[in-house]
Amino acid sequence: MAALERTLVLLKPDAVARGLVGKILQRFEEAGLKVVGTKMVQMDADLAKRHYFDLEERFGKSVFDVTANFMQTGPVIAYVFEGVEAVANVRRMVGSTFPNQAPPGTIRGDFAHTSKAYTEEKGTVAANLIHASGNVEEAAYEVDLWFDKSELFDYQTVAERFLF
Protein backbone atom coordinates (compact mmCIF):
# COMPACT_ATOMS: atom_id res chain seq x y z
CA MET A 1 0.00 0.00 0.00
CA ALA A 2 1.32 3.45 -0.89
CA ALA A 3 2.35 5.46 2.13
CA LEU A 4 3.35 8.98 3.04
CA GLU A 5 7.03 8.67 4.01
CA ARG A 6 9.96 10.76 5.12
CA THR A 7 13.46 10.26 3.78
CA LEU A 8 16.90 11.78 4.23
CA VAL A 9 18.84 13.41 1.42
CA LEU A 10 22.37 14.75 1.86
CA LEU A 11 23.89 17.11 -0.65
CA LYS A 12 27.53 16.12 -0.40
CA PRO A 13 30.50 18.51 -0.33
CA ASP A 14 30.90 18.30 -4.13
CA ALA A 15 27.28 19.42 -4.72
CA VAL A 16 27.70 22.35 -2.32
CA ALA A 17 31.09 23.37 -3.78
CA ARG A 18 29.75 23.21 -7.34
CA GLY A 19 26.78 25.45 -6.52
CA LEU A 20 24.16 22.83 -7.42
CA VAL A 21 22.11 23.06 -4.22
CA GLY A 22 19.29 25.13 -5.72
CA LYS A 23 19.01 23.07 -8.89
CA ILE A 24 18.89 19.80 -6.95
CA LEU A 25 16.35 21.09 -4.41
CA GLN A 26 14.18 22.40 -7.22
CA ARG A 27 13.92 18.91 -8.75
CA PHE A 28 12.56 17.43 -5.53
CA GLU A 29 10.10 20.26 -4.98
CA GLU A 30 8.90 20.12 -8.59
CA ALA A 31 8.22 16.39 -8.10
CA GLY A 32 5.86 17.27 -5.24
CA LEU A 33 8.15 16.32 -2.36
CA LYS A 34 7.89 18.61 0.65
CA VAL A 35 10.88 19.84 2.67
CA VAL A 36 10.12 19.16 6.33
CA GLY A 37 13.67 19.68 7.63
CA THR A 38 16.90 21.23 6.40
CA LYS A 39 20.29 22.29 7.74
CA MET A 40 23.92 22.73 6.78
CA VAL A 41 26.40 20.61 8.73
CA GLN A 42 30.14 20.10 8.79
CA MET A 43 30.33 16.35 9.20
CA ASP A 44 32.86 15.15 11.76
CA ALA A 45 34.41 11.70 12.19
CA ASP A 46 31.82 10.64 14.78
CA LEU A 47 28.84 11.56 12.59
CA ALA A 48 30.48 9.88 9.58
CA LYS A 49 30.94 6.70 11.61
CA ARG A 50 27.32 6.72 12.83
CA HIS A 51 25.92 7.53 9.37
CA TYR A 52 28.06 4.97 7.50
CA PHE A 53 28.00 2.42 10.35
CA ASP A 54 27.73 -0.59 8.01
CA LEU A 55 29.81 0.62 5.05
CA GLU A 56 33.06 -0.98 6.24
CA GLU A 57 31.35 -4.33 6.81
CA ARG A 58 29.66 -4.24 3.39
CA PHE A 59 32.49 -2.86 1.24
CA GLY A 60 35.70 -2.86 3.29
CA LYS A 61 37.71 -0.42 5.37
CA SER A 62 39.21 1.42 2.40
CA VAL A 63 35.75 2.30 1.01
CA PHE A 64 34.63 3.49 4.44
CA ASP A 65 37.78 5.58 4.92
CA VAL A 66 37.60 7.25 1.50
CA THR A 67 33.88 7.99 1.90
CA ALA A 68 34.11 9.25 5.49
CA ASN A 69 37.10 11.46 4.67
CA PHE A 70 35.39 12.91 1.59
CA MET A 71 32.22 13.72 3.54
CA GLN A 72 34.34 15.79 5.95
CA THR A 73 35.97 17.94 3.24
CA GLY A 74 33.25 20.58 3.24
CA PRO A 75 29.74 21.35 4.39
CA VAL A 76 26.86 18.99 3.74
CA ILE A 77 23.25 20.09 3.37
CA ALA A 78 20.79 17.69 4.95
CA TYR A 79 17.13 17.56 3.93
CA VAL A 80 14.18 15.54 5.08
CA PHE A 81 11.63 15.20 2.31
CA GLU A 82 8.08 13.99 2.77
CA GLY A 83 5.84 12.51 0.11
CA VAL A 84 4.05 9.45 -1.18
CA GLU A 85 6.59 6.61 -1.32
CA ALA A 86 9.26 9.27 -0.82
CA VAL A 87 12.13 6.81 -0.28
CA ALA A 88 11.71 4.97 -3.60
CA ASN A 89 10.84 8.12 -5.52
CA VAL A 90 13.90 9.99 -4.27
CA ARG A 91 16.14 7.01 -5.09
CA ARG A 92 14.71 6.93 -8.62
CA MET A 93 15.34 10.65 -9.07
CA VAL A 94 18.92 10.40 -7.75
CA GLY A 95 20.07 7.60 -10.09
CA SER A 96 22.73 4.90 -9.80
CA THR A 97 25.61 5.24 -7.33
CA PHE A 98 28.11 5.56 -10.14
CA PRO A 99 27.12 8.58 -12.23
CA ASN A 100 28.25 7.08 -15.54
CA GLN A 101 25.59 4.38 -14.99
CA ALA A 102 22.84 6.85 -14.05
CA PRO A 103 20.45 7.66 -16.87
CA PRO A 104 19.93 11.18 -18.17
CA GLY A 105 17.17 12.88 -16.25
CA THR A 106 18.47 11.69 -12.90
CA ILE A 107 20.47 14.02 -10.67
CA ARG A 108 23.65 11.98 -10.95
CA GLY A 109 23.10 11.35 -14.65
CA ASP A 110 22.73 15.05 -15.38
CA PHE A 111 25.31 16.60 -13.06
CA ALA A 112 28.09 14.03 -12.51
CA HIS A 113 30.11 11.64 -14.64
CA THR A 114 32.67 9.58 -12.66
CA SER A 115 32.81 5.81 -12.99
CA LYS A 116 33.47 2.89 -10.68
CA ALA A 117 36.57 1.94 -12.70
CA TYR A 118 38.00 5.46 -12.34
CA THR A 119 37.38 5.66 -8.60
CA GLU A 120 38.87 2.20 -8.02
CA GLU A 121 41.92 3.00 -10.15
CA LYS A 122 42.51 6.30 -8.35
CA GLY A 123 41.50 5.06 -4.88
CA THR A 124 39.06 7.94 -4.58
CA VAL A 125 35.40 8.46 -3.87
CA ALA A 126 32.74 8.55 -6.57
CA ALA A 127 31.89 12.24 -6.64
CA ASN A 128 28.18 11.58 -7.01
CA LEU A 129 26.76 14.70 -5.34
CA ILE A 130 24.06 13.19 -3.19
CA HIS A 131 23.11 10.57 -0.62
CA ALA A 132 19.56 9.24 -0.38
CA SER A 133 18.24 6.71 2.12
CA GLY A 134 18.13 3.23 0.59
CA ASN A 135 14.93 1.91 2.15
CA VAL A 136 12.23 2.87 4.65
CA GLU A 137 14.09 1.45 7.67
CA GLU A 138 17.32 3.20 6.70
CA ALA A 139 15.40 6.44 6.19
CA ALA A 140 13.93 6.27 9.71
CA TYR A 141 17.40 5.67 11.21
CA GLU A 142 19.02 8.45 9.18
CA VAL A 143 16.31 11.04 9.81
CA ASP A 144 16.61 10.37 13.57
CA LEU A 145 20.41 10.56 13.35
CA TRP A 146 20.51 13.88 11.54
CA PHE A 147 17.47 15.70 12.96
CA ASP A 148 15.90 16.25 16.37
CA LYS A 149 12.11 16.06 16.40
CA SER A 150 12.04 19.84 17.02
CA GLU A 151 13.83 20.38 13.68
CA LEU A 152 11.12 18.65 11.64
CA PHE A 153 7.96 20.48 10.64
CA ASP A 154 4.37 19.52 9.83
CA TYR A 155 2.63 21.97 7.53
CA GLN A 156 0.51 21.88 4.41
CA THR A 157 1.66 23.16 1.04
CA VAL A 158 -0.69 24.46 -1.59
CA ALA A 159 0.35 21.59 -3.87
CA GLU A 160 -0.76 18.98 -1.32
CA ARG A 161 -4.38 19.83 -2.02
CA PHE A 162 -3.83 18.51 -5.55
CA LEU A 163 -1.22 15.79 -5.03
CA PHE A 164 -2.40 13.86 -1.97
Task: Report the catalytic residues.
Answer: 131
Distances (CA, A) of 104 to 64, 93, 108: 28, 10, 8
User: Among 93, 107, 85, 106, which residue's Cα sits nearest to residue 12?
Assistant: 107
Reported for 45-51, long-range contacts at CB under 8 A and 24+ positions apart, including other chains, are 45/72, 47/145, 48/72, 50/145, 51/142, 51/145, 51/146
- Three-state DSSP at 73 gives coil
User: Among 101, 83, 28, 138, which residue's Cα sits nearest to residue 20?
Assistant: 28
Q: Nearest 5 degrees, angle CA 148-CA 154-CA 157? A: 140
User: Among 6, 25, 5, which residue's Cα sits nearest to residue 129?
Assistant: 25
